[in-house]
Structure 1
Amino acid sequence: MLLGIHHVALICSDYQGSKHFYTQVLGLTVLAEHFRAERQSWKLDLALPDGSQLELFSFPSPPARPSRPEACGLRHLAFKVADMAAAVAHLTAAGVEVEPVRTDPYTQRLFTFFTDPDGQPLELYQTPAETDC
């Protein structure tokens, strides 16, 4: 039935700041960008290398959504990386604060957390190389 995740949608408070973060810092590719005048809202479709997508929306004065500590709902969004050290170095060079890298006690994979401009928790999770599967 389910084939995978098609997209994840995020509402941002500063559209231009979030657009810069997701395209310039994280390197996602813009698929489409639309201004919806009737809603005073931007919609930005971004592609990840595996074909999944991230949608960014802006709305005038969106209400804050609790995300920490352990609020019900989306906990975080995790991105796969092949080289944790390189990914952390890239984010740090871009001025993004990254938590210390840890090892998942169940999978023995490296992971760390950082946030987007709105404080949305994001995770980097090092996955095995395709040849390791």
Structure 2
Amino acid sequence: MKLTGIHHIAIICSNYKTSKDFYVNLLGFPIIREVYREERDSYKLDLALPGGTQLELFSFPDAPIRPSYPEAQGLRHLAFQTPDISGAVKELEGNGVQVEPIRTDEYTNKKFTFFSDPDGLPIELYES
């Protein structure tokens, strides 16, 4: 098997409008396409991430809540790299997002921090 990368990451949102605003307007990911699937009463929003990977946002009526804390088995977090972690943190905090203190990875000596999306999904910023 030859895998060449990650094509997309899918997130089911509790409030589609809020999550769309967060990922498009705050994090700045461009919209590829947005569709409403009437048979599922569901929106699907494809967003472009750097390097060609996509982020898919879905709305589904009555989707169950997934526990994040304490840490549960499964996907732990979504990490984005940035060349300026301090600037990114200031921008997030300026938009009302609570961000953990910046820490340094003891193995790579790179700076990183965490914050949450509107549904509590842990997101990491990792300085490149």
Same fold (TM over 0.5): yes
Structure 2 residues without counterparts, runs of 5 or longer: none
Q: Distance in 1 between matches of 2:24 and 2:77?
A: 19
SS state at 1:50 partner: helix
Q: Which residue of 1 aligns with 2:47?
A: 46
Deviation, structure 1 residue 83: 0.6
Q: Distance in 2 between matches of 1:31 and 1:123?
A: 23
Percent identity between the aligned chains? Answer: 61
Deviation, structure 1 residue 105: 0.6
Give the length in aligned residue pairs: 127
Q: Which residue of 2 aligns with 1:58?
A: 59
Check whether the contact 1:23–1:29 (CA below 8 A) recurs between aligned residues: yes
Q: Which residue of 2 aligns with 1:108?
A: 109
Q: Distance in 2 between matches of 1:110 and 1:50?
A: 21
Q: Which residue of 1 aligns with 2:18?
A: 17
Does 1:67 find its partner at 2:68?
yes
Deviation, structure 1 residue 121: 0.4
Aligned pairs for 1:90-105 (under 5 A) are 90-105=91-106
Deviation, structure 1 residue 49: 2.1
Does 1:37 find its partner at 2:38?
yes
Q: Distance in 2 between matches of 1:62 and 1:27?
A: 26
TM-score, scaled to structure 2: 0.97
Deviation, structure 1 residue 97: 0.5
SS state at 1:34 partner: strand
User: Structure 1: which amino acid aligns with 2:30?
Assistant: T
Check whether the contact 1:79–1:123 (CA below 8 A) recurs between aligned residues: yes
Deviation, structure 1 residue 61: 1.3
TM-score, scaled to structure 1: 0.93
Q: Over aligned residue pairs, what C-alpha RMSD do you find? A: 0.7
